[in-house]
Amino acid sequence: MRSADRYRLIRRVAIVAGMVVLLVLPFITEAIDEPFYVDLVTRFMIFAIAAASLDLILGYGGMISFGHAAYLGIGGYAVAIFSFYGIDNGFLQLTVAIVGSALVALVIGAICLKTSGLYFIMITLAFTQMLYFLGVSLEEYGGDDGVNTNRSEFFEALDLYDSNTFYYFVFGLLVVCVLGLRRIVGSRFGRVISGAKSNELRMRAIGFPTFRYRLVAFAVSGAVCGVAGFLLGNLTEFVTPEYMHWSRSGELLVMVVMGGTGTIFGPVIGAVSFLLLEEWLSSLTEHWLLFFGPSLLLLVLFAKRGLYGLISPPTGEAE
């Protein structure tokens, strides 16, 4: 029976190894002359940020949000709308993506967090559908035809049109977001959120205004996802309300569970695995969903704590 220390070591090694691989990937792909993989992994990392942000409220807070993709849209439109008017300043766009997502999350959260269980799931779904239909009606910005955008400009030196530069830019933000989220869940704030997940009554009895804590977590989670949306708009150089569709939210949920809820690192692995699996299977046959669908079912049935759970001690201590 492995001790908890052994598991901790394995996890540390795995995380460091993962970071190293991501760090040197562009060099490897250059050596084997497969530059496409830089773009592919960039897309993986963007969704990893989105999945990690969802884990804050899902894994730690127990809030199953079927509306998280809304912030991908908000972040994306922050880039596209400014670009539409000729403003490609990345600092401005990123700030608006973060603040805008946080504000929208606050409003949505204020209403949704009054409910729980399936009601919560449905009302988060409702809000994201409303945003989706709103986006479709906005003719000015292309409606559902979407709108092309330029990549953001930060400094003269930072040319985001270069695949490798963009890759490291996303990687940097991924590291910042993941470490930031880990800090939050390790803090007192994070512990209140997890406490409220397991026993809300007790937390309130102790004197914590759980609603307020949850709302803040909801807003932070939305804001980080807005960063992912900002990056997605940049990657595709195109934004459309389809980014906010409920099926996208469903995919984010799958990524989190696949990786392992309540771990922040897990969802990163989950996002990469999910997209890798999708990329691989769809190249094999046009009926790839016949295999992809049941694999989600099997994942849920047999890998209860996700991929990250495979290298965690059986007691499942939250670390």
* Interacting residues with other proteins (CB under 8 A): 34-36, 39-40, 43, 58, 64, 66, 111, 114-119, 121-123, 125-127, 129-130, 133-134, 136-137, 139, 142-148, 232, 235-238, 240, 242-243, 246, 250, 253-254, 257, 261, 282-290, 292-297, 299-301, 304
Instruction: Pick between residue 181 and residue 257 the one whose CB is nearest to other proteins.
Output: 257
Asked if 260 and 169 count as a contact pair (C-beta separation under 8 A), the reply is: no
Tokens for 31?
């050596």
Output the smallest distance, CB 319 to other proteins, in A: 21
Output the smallest distance, CB 219 to other proteins, in A: 19
Output the smallest distance, CB 71 to other proteins, in A: 16
Output the smallest distance, CB 232 to other proteins, in A: 7
Q: In the chain, what is the straight-line distance between the N-terminal and C-terminal CA atoms, in Å? A: 20
The 8-class DSSP code of residue 140 comes to: G
Instruction: Pick between residue 179 and residue 298 the one whose CB is nearest to other proteins.
Output: 298
Output the smallest distance, CB 233 to other proteins, in A: 10
DSSP string, 195-208: HHHH-HHHHHHHT-
Helix, strand, or coil here: 292? helix
Instruction: Pick between residue 62 and residue 313 the one whose CB is nearest to other proteins.
Output: 62
Instruction: Pick between residue 106 and residue 130 the one whose CB is nearest to other proteins.
Output: 130
**Which pairs count as long-range contacts for 162-167, CB under 8 Å and 24+ apart, including other chains?**
163/35, 163/38, 163/39, 163/42, 164/26, 164/38, 166/42, 166/234, 166/235, 167/25, 167/26, 167/38, 167/39, 167/41, 167/42
Output the smallest distance, CB 161 to other proteins, in A: 9
Instruction: Pick between residue 14 and residue 40 the one whose CB is nearest to other proteins.
Output: 40
The 8-class DSSP code of residue 304 comes to: T
Picking from 266, 185, 169, the residue whose alpha carbon sits closest to that of residue 227 is: 169
Instruction: Pick between residue 58 and residue 223 the one whose CB is nearest to other proteins.
Output: 58
